[in-house]
Structure 1
């Protein structure tokens, strides 16, 4: 399975994001691995790089195919929230997430009964 254009645009931002993924995995699982790489390098990326990555993902979420949107939401964003649960400073990137990505994260927290902090709700 080839990688969609949005994926290639994301990994072009930084070599650290060019993760090796198993071609047999679904795009959702690949996007989760991409999120893990992003979390691991987010503090080393410039704000412009983070915005470029997250803006590309926002575009895929809103304008991509159903598979692209599912990969971004279920793969990348849910992995990002999981990393936050495990100590990742989500504030570092929260304001760089697009409005649909933020809405998805807030809805996911609500679904699981997690009260989103004020800084997430006031963006």
Structure 2
């Protein structure tokens, strides 16, 4: 079964090092909490708010062992007035045996407010 695993995080500054660090942290937590093997990842889509322009967050995936061939694409998030700033959102499609209600979606930093119903305490 192919399932979508959602995740999001925020950065304090539009700086390459922080964007890469926080994206890598998010991806590693998403993979760990769902026992994801990179061989079973179909694709990863990453969207960013318009205030993130210093680098492509997808670069972070290349720093994770075994993720060299994972297809990844970055795109802009819809610019909705009043939405969370400096936010990186991820949709990872993976082959898994987990039932949909057992998938662990990961929200870090200020992004916790996006889906408090899915955030573990």
Q: Which has the higher contact order (CA 8 A, sep 6+)?
A: 2
User: Please, what TM-score do these two structures have when normalized by structure 1?
Assistant: 0.31
**Larger strand proportion, structure 1 or 2?**
2
**Larger helix proportion, structure 1 or 2?**
1
User: Please, what TM-score do these two structures have when normalized by structure 2?
Assistant: 0.32
